[in-house]
Structure 1
């Protein structure tokens, strides 16, 4: 059941469906990223609505989703760039996500 919720989370981005996205998130949802923490479902959804193109335009390719109980790790590509989410579920909704990705210039080696 929880894995289906994680699939629904990513499906909402693929389908550009903010209603589906909202259904996956607990009211007390917290999203952590390199940009900081967003500390409620409403604040997160407001950000998505204000930046719909930025949130829904990237191509996401799921590479792996690993899970145990109510904790999941998803490894994926966003427009070909690697990313990872640690996703926590309680009572059938996502309560917290830690997103890890690089958002600056690519380093030259």
Structure 2
């Protein structure tokens, strides 16, 4: 596999190590998923912290990636030791000025619910 973009690698490292305070995201960051769009960074971080059990405890394993300039697509497996959730995810990252500006995340949510 081609070397992963260093900013996206840092994103994965932060999640795998539970160091979410170091996520490389811009202040005007937006995250779009089957749950909707969360923006800016402060709101995203509030939701992550309120739902720590769901968001932390993950092991994210990269399967494939494609990259064109500052746009990176990564397919990965997510396994959460806290919830038992396992799924395959595809995410598109838009990187600007050394930070992730936006992510579009694709996965089947089943009956999951995130409280905002």
TM-score of the pair, normalised by structure 2: 0.82
Deviations 1:47-73 (A, max 9, x none): 111111211123221111221110000
Gaps of 5+ in 1: none
Q: CA deviation at 1:92?
A: 0.5
Q: CA deviation at 1:81?
A: 1.9
Are 2:94 and 1:88 aligned?
Answer: yes
The alignment yields a C-alpha RMSD, in angstroms, of: 1.4
More helix as a share of residues = 1
| Secondary structure, counterpart of 1:13 in structure 2 | helix
Q: Which residue of 2 aligns with 1:49?
A: 49
Name the stretch that deviates more: 29-38 or 79-88: 79-88
Deviations 1:13-69 (A, max 9, x none): 100002211xx0001100000000001000001111111121112322111122111
TM-score of the pair, normalised by structure 1: 0.87
> How far apart, in 2, do the equivalents of 1:12 and 1:66 lie?
21
**Counterparts of residues 1-109 of structure 1 (less than 5 Å):** 3-21=5-23, 24-79=24-79, 80-104=86-110
